[in-house]
Structure 1
Amino acid sequence: DTLWMSMELASKFSTWKDFIETLAHEMVHLYQIQIQKDPYANHNKNFYAWKNTFSTVGLNLER
């Protein structure tokens, strides 16, 4: 099976960190879909399980 996904981000972010946090947030959703086989990939316990990992590199994981 071939899966096609696209993502659209804002053309400008207030800071580089905001951009990285947004991109990382979306990559967690991709992980939910591709690896965890979660068809909804929403802000559930699997999503927030990444919060500590983000924190260790100085990033916030928010909805």
Structure 2
Amino acid sequence: MSSDKGKRPLNAIGDDMDSEFDPLTAALRQMHDSVANEPIPDDFLNLLDMIDAKMSASKKFQ
């Protein structure tokens, strides 16, 4: 018995959605969407900027 439920893209909505509605899957998708839509924290952006600056500086010396 194989299921393709986990292989569909997160934003895929099939015609048979009502017949296959799974509250756990719906809750997980909602949680994923809410986290994915959160802004990136400033501390994390600053860290990424510092990494980029160090990588750029090291490339200049190669």
The TM-score, its normalising length taken from structure 1, stands at 0.34
Using CA pairs under 8 Å that are at least 6 residues apart, name the structure with larger relative contact order, 1 or 2.
2
The TM-score, its normalising length taken from structure 2, stands at 0.34
Instruction: Mark the structure with the bigger radius of gyration.
Output: 2
